[in-house]
């Protein structure tokens, strides 16, 4: 095999991509006799174009997949498309392209962008969520959830744009206005479908303890999101009625400090208690407004069941109907929010908790307090509970309440049920029909899928286009056969991504829920994706996995054993005072090419089309090849860290690959023909010994750096060091050539996960049969890797004073002797008393001395 003198990436890369396609090396098959490794990157939304930020994500996954393959694992490394969702529908409204066409065309063009990167995907398992064959399973899961009472319908508030007549997602509401038409968004109550994720709240929380392979930060975010809090529910009778107001509190120890009550404007009792409807509307309008607390006295009083005190009941905009019971007891002395409310409406304050014993009574009489004391302490003015400490009092009061039938100890979660209804077209139809006679009726399993019709019109107004399709809406009731109306809402796209990793376990032509496949491949051993999915996607997937477990689809609870959240790729932004954001090529010497004004250099930000600070892999690959792009994006920073894109740095990676190429080219004839084994190391010439040692050290470093949380940046640095030595090595005899061959081959194998194409080419050029990925990952010998001489650092009082080379493995005593023999050290020590000598094996000696004359 001959090697071109000059490294031409296009040629090499195309050749090996074709080779991999032909050989089917990236295809996976379940084989229980082999150890499996499931490597998964979060699948992309087909927006049309990828930038190097996306590419980095796939490259990280690809390195892991290729490395694990060489380590002998049967690797599953699939890819697919998160293909339903809003942008396709918006494109339809704006440009008149059908969402399906837009989506499939984008998938096509993204495939064209991905292919040249050289990613080792098994394309036989490609998943496209907008395919009927995929979303029919969303519908199947929906039916199963419905059967189990885990899917239900209830009224809830949504962001509603009156002008577009549509529901908006939270992120589509910008400063309270519609992102598309700028109308003021209102809260509208709609009937919506929900998944009862709260049924698994406790389990999802407990499960966090199992997520040892996840970044702690993400686990913490999940815990906060679930938001467990323990407390009590207590009934407060309302004076002059037979009604009771049930509240939730986490501080039963402050019950004697209640000064007023607050209920949510949407609380069922509110309408009953409030006569002043105008005032109530005012509070309702400010519901959830964080800036101002607004309250309205209902004219009613509640009775504190513990001490019989009579306290006023208010309606307040800050009390949420969705959490707890929708009503609270207000203890202004010990809750900052209640304190502020009390101040605003001039309500009394009563302290019942003292921070500690020393500050006792007295201070509680000493005039107004500046803020609430929210900590724990000792109870005062609390009847029989006075003198108890908060934790003890919480228990005692809760027990008392339960004994007297006034309420009960309760656990609450912030986690809400997952609203999955979208008044949108481009999503999975919810398999439900409404019959006048039978009410809500699920579609029969045998009638799945409910196919999303293609022939629709997009106006952007009047809600889902499905509403205007009589053929779709009008149907028969599965129960009574009478006329019925189909559900026109579609599912949240998070449903699609909550189980796609299970679909990948089987090939396209296999049953989606084939048990043997799933039990072999699941769980995902390494999941890689952006931190932006730390809560929702990952939580929904954990929920779905539990649902699938309870349906018998799979036998585990946690889908992702290890999670890597990679940092974003940023680039500085450029802005012209006249032409706004500029592409990098629109600025020359700090001037705008359009108008010549000074360009303002903005901060580094996540790459985005709108800010024009994107670098696409296509350009880079065209110029330097995929191997260079891959290498640089791995070398520039550890994967979990954000990275600023640097064009200069890319050139450095390119130079490195050229150097590797040149080394192999220069030595290829000798290396190819070399048949010598490596004799005992001691017989080698010292330079060859050195190179061999460096080679083994590098194998060790690259391997441990990859194993140590995928620190590819230092792995690549180690490889560069080896290549620097390889470049300087001058072989003179046959044994030198043998060492060189071994060293070059090792370097190629170590490089292969990072820059796979050039590695294949060079592997072949050194006289080996492809593919390098069928090789076992190289092994190192501790013995050969060990340095024969080590640098001993000599410190005096913690300061480095000398460095000497000493043989490896000296005893502490020998090291002390050597140190004190050193002329320079003798000089420093003369006339000083040595107090102590510390020896750190193989590293340094620290001599502690006193001042002169001591």
Q: Residue 187 interacts with RNA (CB under 7 A)?
A: no
**Contact code string over 683-702 relative to RNA, x by CB under 7 A:** ------------------x-
Q: Is the peptide bond before 632 cis (omega within 30 degrees of 0)?
A: no
Map the footprint of RNA across residues 280-309, applying CB under 7 A.
288-293
- Which residues lie below 8 Å from residue 490, measured CB to CB, with a gap of 6+? 84, 421, 422, 424, 425, 426, 427, 428, 429, 430, 452, 464, 466
Q: Residue 795 interacts with RNA (CB under 7 A)?
A: yes
Residue whose CB is less far from RNA, 177 or 711? 711
Contact residue for RNA among 324, 427, 429, 449 (CB under 7 A)? 324
Q: Residue 384 interacts with RNA (CB under 7 A)?
A: no
CA distance linking residue 586 with residue 574, whole number of Å: 9
In whole angstroms, the minimum distance from the beta carbon of 643 to RNA comes to 6
- Which residues lie below 8 Å from residue 122, measured CB to CB, with a gap of 6+? 26, 27, 28, 76, 77, 78
Contact residue for RNA among 35, 404, 597, 641 (CB under 7 A)? 641
Contact residue for RNA among 109, 516, 646, 811 (CB under 7 A)? 646
In whole angstroms, the minimum distance from the beta carbon of 245 to RNA comes to 12
Q: Residue 793 interacts with RNA (CB under 7 A)?
A: yes
Q: Residue 638 interacts with RNA (CB under 7 A)?
A: yes
Q: Residue 757 interacts with RNA (CB under 7 A)?
A: no
Contact residue for RNA among 74, 103, 249, 628 (CB under 7 A)? 249
Q: Residue 801 interacts with RNA (CB under 7 A)?
A: yes
CA distance linking residue 259 with residue 309, whole number of Å: 9
Q: Residue 320 interacts with RNA (CB under 7 A)?
A: yes
Cα 472 → chain centroid: 38
Compute and round to an integer the Cα radius of gyration of the chain.
35
Residue whose CB is less far from RNA, 464 or 695? 695
**Contact code string over 706-745 relative to RNA, x by CB under 7 A:** --x--x-xx-xx--xx--x--xx-----------------
Residue whose CB is less far from RNA, 110 or 719? 719
CA distance linking residue 625 with residue 10, whole number of Å: 6
Q: Residue 326 interacts with RNA (CB under 7 A)?
A: yes
Q: Residue 323 interacts with RNA (CB under 7 A)?
A: yes
DSSP string, 736-776: HHHHHHHHHHHHHHHHTTTSHHHHHHHHHHTTPPS-GGGSP
DSSP string, 210-274: G-TBS-HHHHHHHHHHH-EEEEEEEEEEBTTSS-EEEEEES-GGGGGG--EEEE-TT-HHHHHH-
In whole angstroms, the minimum distance from the beta carbon of 355 to RNA comes to 16
Q: Residue 350 interacts with RNA (CB under 7 A)?
A: no
What letter does residue 578 receive in the DSSP assignment? T
Token digits of residue 514:
């084939």
Q: Residue 618 interacts with RNA (CB under 7 A)?
A: no
Map the footprint of RNA across residues 441-500, applying CB under 7 A.
none
Alpha helices (H) along 522-646: 536-550, 617-624, 626-635
In whole angstroms, the minimum distance from the beta carbon of 342 to RNA comes to 13
Which three-class secondary structure state does DSSP give residue 580?
strand
Alpha helices (H) along 561-685: 617-624, 626-635, 647-673
Q: Taking contact as CB under 7 A, which single stretch among the options 100-108, 271-279, 755-763, 840-848 is the one that binds RNA?
A: 840-848
CA distance linking residue 50 with residue 653, whole number of Å: 21
Q: Residue 824 interacts with RNA (CB under 7 A)?
A: yes
Q: Residue 319 interacts with RNA (CB under 7 A)?
A: yes
Residue whose CB is less far from RNA, 110 or 796? 796
**Contact code string over 206-245 relative to RNA, x by CB under 7 A:** ----------xx--xx--xx-x-x-x--------------
Residue whose CB is less far from RNA, 463 or 567? 567
Q: Taking contact as CB under 7 A, which single stretch among the options 206-214, 619-627, 756-764, 788-796 is the one that binds RNA?
A: 788-796
In whole angstroms, the minimum distance from the beta carbon of 679 to RNA comes to 29
In whole angstroms, the minimum distance from the beta carbon of 411 to RNA comes to 10
In whole angstroms, the minimum distance from the beta carbon of 782 to RNA comes to 13
What letter does residue 170 receive in the DSSP assignment? G
82, 87, 68, 177: which is closest to 129 by C-alpha?
Answer: 82
Q: How many helices (H) and strands (E) does the chain have?
A: 26, 37
In whole angstroms, the minimum distance from the beta carbon of 698 to RNA comes to 11
Contact residue for RNA among 656, 729, 742, 763 (CB under 7 A)? 656
The beta strand positions in 689-841, using DSSP E, are: 789-796, 799-807, 834-840
Q: Residue 810 interacts with RNA (CB under 7 A)?
A: no
Please give the size of the binding site for RNA, defined by CB under 7 A: 89
In whole angstroms, the minimum distance from the beta carbon of 713 to RNA comes to 5
Q: Residue 199 interacts with RNA (CB under 7 A)?
A: no
Map the footprint of RNA across residues 514-543, applying CB under 7 A.
531-532, 534-535
Which three-class secondary structure state does DSSP give residue 322?
coil
In whole angstroms, the minimum distance from the beta carbon of 344 to RNA comes to 11
Which residue's entry shows tokens 């059908």?
98
- Judged on CB neighbours under 10 Å (0-12, 13-18, 19+), 642 is middle
Residue whose CB is less far from RNA, 278 or 371? 371
Which three-class secondary structure state does DSSP give residue 166?
strand
Residue whose CB is less far from RNA, 453 or 590? 590
Residues forming beta bridges with residue 750, ordered by sequence position: none
Q: Residue 410 interacts with RNA (CB under 7 A)?
A: no
- Which residues lie below 8 Å from residue 609, measured CB to CB, with a gap of 6+? 49
Which residue's entry shows tokens 């002797």?
817
CA distance linking residue 57 with residue 568, whole number of Å: 9
Contact residue for RNA among 649, 687, 690, 767 (CB under 7 A)? 649
Residue whose CB is less far from RNA, 154 or 224? 224
Q: Taking contact as CB under 7 A, which single stretch among the options 348-356, 579-587, 747-755, 792-800 is the one that binds RNA?
A: 792-800
Token digits of residue 27:
């295809």
Residue whose CB is less far from RNA, 270 or 735? 270
Q: Are 186 and 160 spatial neighbours (Cβ–Cβ below 8 Å)?
A: yes
Contact residue for RNA among 38, 318, 458, 504 (CB under 7 A)? 318
Map the footprint of RNA across residues 413-442, applying CB under 7 A.
414
In whole angstroms, the minimum distance from the beta carbon of 385 to RNA comes to 17
Residue whose CB is less far from RNA, 74 or 325? 325
Cα 493 → chain centroid: 17
CA distance linking residue 81 with residue 46, whole number of Å: 6
In whole angstroms, the minimum distance from the beta carbon of 184 to RNA comes to 18
Q: Taking contact as CB under 7 A, which single stretch among the options 72-80, 89-97, 101-109, 790-798 is the one that binds RNA?
A: 790-798
Q: Are 310 and 331 spatial neighbours (Cβ–Cβ below 8 Å)?
A: no
Q: Residue 156 interacts with RNA (CB under 7 A)?
A: no
DSSP string, 23-88: HTTT-----TTS-EEEEEEPPPP--S---HHHHHHHHHHHHHHHHHHHTT-EEE---EE---SHHH
In whole angstroms, the minimum distance from the beta carbon of 192 to RNA comes to 18
H-helix or E-strand containing 401? Answer: helix 390-403
Which residue's entry shows tokens 């106006």?
459
Q: Residue 659 interacts with RNA (CB under 7 A)?
A: yes
Q: Residue 664 interacts with RNA (CB under 7 A)?
A: no
Q: Residue 791 interacts with RNA (CB under 7 A)?
A: yes
In whole angstroms, the minimum distance from the beta carbon of 208 to RNA comes to 14
CA distance linking residue 63 with residue 716, whole number of Å: 12
């Amino acid at each position: 095999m001959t090697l071109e003198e000059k490294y031409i990436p296009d040629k090499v890369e195309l050749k090996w991509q074709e080779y991999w396609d032909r050989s089917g090396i990236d295809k996976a098959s379940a084989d229980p006799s082999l150890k499996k490794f499931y490597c998964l990157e979060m699948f992309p939304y087909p927006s049309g174009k990828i930038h190097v930020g996306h590419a980095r994500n796939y490259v990280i996954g690809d390195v892991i997949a290729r490395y694990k393959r060489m380590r002998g694992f049967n690797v599953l490394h699939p890819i697919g498309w998160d293909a339903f969702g809003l942008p396709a529908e918006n494109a339809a409204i704006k440009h008149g392209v059908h969402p399906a066409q837009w989506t499939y065309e984008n998938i096509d063009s993204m495939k064209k962008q991905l292919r040249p990167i050289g990613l080792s995907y098994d394309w036989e398992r490609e998943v496209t969520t907008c395919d009927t064959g995929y979303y029919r399973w969303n519908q199947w899961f929906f039916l199963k959830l419905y059967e189990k009472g885990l899917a239900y319908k209830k009224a809830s508030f949504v962001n509603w744009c009156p002008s577009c007549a549509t529901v908006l997602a939270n992120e589509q509401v910008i400063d309270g206005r519609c992102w598309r038409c700028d109308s003021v968004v209102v809260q509208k109550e709609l009937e919506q479908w929900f998944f009862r994720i709260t049924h698994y709240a406790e389990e999802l929380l407990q499960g966090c303890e199992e997520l040892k392979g996840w970044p702690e930060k993400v686990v913490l975010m999940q815990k906060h999101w679930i938001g467990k809090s323990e407390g009590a529910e207590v009934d407060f009778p309302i004076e002059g009625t037979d009604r009771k107001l049930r509240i939730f509190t986490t501080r039963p120890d402050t019950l004697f400090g209640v000064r007023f009550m607050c209920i949510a404007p949407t609380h069922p009792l509110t309408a009953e208690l409030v006569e002043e409807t105008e005032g109530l509307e005012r509070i309702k309008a400010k519901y959830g407004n964080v800036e101002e607390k607004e309250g309205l006295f209902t004219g009613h009083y509640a009775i504190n069941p513990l001490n019989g005190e009579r306290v006023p009941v208010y309606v307040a905009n800050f009390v949420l109907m969705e959490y707890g019971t929708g009503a609270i007891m207000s203890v202004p002395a010990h809750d900052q929010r209640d304190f502020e409310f009390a101040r605003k409406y001039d309500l009394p304050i009563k302290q019942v908790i003292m921070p500690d014993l020393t500050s006792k009574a007295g201070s509680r009489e000493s005039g107004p307090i500046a803020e609430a004391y929210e900590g724990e302490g000792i109870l005062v003015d609390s009847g029989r509970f006075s003198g108890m400490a908060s934790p003890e009092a919480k228990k005692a009061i809760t027990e008392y309440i339960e004994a007297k039938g006034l309420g009960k100890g309760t656990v609450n979660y912030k986690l809400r049920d997952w609203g999955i209804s979208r008044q949108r077209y481009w999503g999975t139809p919810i398999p439900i029909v409404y019959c006048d006679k039978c009410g809500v009726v699920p579609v029969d399993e045998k009638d799945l899928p409910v196919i999303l019709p293609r022939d629709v019109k997009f106006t952007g107004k009047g809600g889902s286009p499905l509403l205007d399709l009589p053929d779709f809406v009008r149907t028969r009731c599965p129960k009574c056969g009478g006329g019925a109306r189909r559900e026109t809402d579609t599912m949240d796209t998070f449903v699609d991504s909550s189980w796609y990793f299970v679909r990948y376990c089987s090939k396209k032509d296999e049953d989606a829920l084939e048990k043997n496949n799933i039990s072999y491949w699941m769980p995902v051993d390494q999941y890689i994706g952006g931190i932006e999915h730390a809560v929702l996607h990952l939580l929904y997937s954990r929920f779905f996995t539990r649902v699938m477990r309870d349906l018998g689809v799979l036998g585990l609870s946690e889908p992702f054993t290890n999670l890597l959240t990679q940092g974003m790729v940023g680039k500085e932004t450029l802005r012209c005072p006249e032409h706004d954001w500029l592409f990098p090529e629109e600025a020359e010497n700090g001037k705008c090419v359009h108008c010549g004004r000074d360009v303002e250099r903005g901060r580094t930000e996540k790459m985005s089309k709108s800010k024009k600070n994107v670098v696409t892999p296509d350009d880079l690959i065209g110029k330097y090849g995929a191997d260079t792009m891959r290498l640089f994006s791995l070398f520039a920073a550890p994967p979990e860290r954000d990275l600023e894109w640097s064009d200069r740095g890319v050139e450095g990676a390119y130079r490195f690959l050229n150097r590797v190429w040149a080394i192999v080219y220069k030595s290829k004839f000798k290396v190819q023909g070399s048949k010598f084994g490596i004799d005992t190391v001691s017989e080698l010439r010292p330079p060859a010994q050195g190179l061999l040692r460096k080679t083994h050290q590098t194998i060790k470093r690259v391997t441990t750096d990859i194993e140590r949380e995928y620190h590819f940046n230092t792995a690549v640095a180690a490889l560069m060091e080896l290549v620097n030595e390889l470049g300087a090595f001058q072989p003179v005899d046959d044994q030198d050539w043998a060492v060189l061959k071994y060293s070059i081959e090792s370097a190629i194998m170590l490089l292969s996960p990072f820059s796979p194409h050039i590695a294949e080419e060079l592997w072949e050029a050194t006289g080996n049969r492809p593919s390098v990925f069928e090789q076992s990952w190289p092994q190192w010998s501790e013995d050969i890797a060990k340095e024969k001489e080590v640098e001993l650092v000599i410190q005096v009082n913690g300061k480095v004073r000398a460095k000497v080379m000493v043989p490896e493995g000296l005893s502490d005593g020998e090291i002390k002797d050597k140190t004190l023999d050193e002329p320079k050290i003798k000089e420093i020590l003369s006339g000083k008393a040595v107090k102590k000598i510390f020896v750190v094996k193989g590293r340094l000696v620290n001599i502690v001395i006193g001042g002169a004359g001591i």
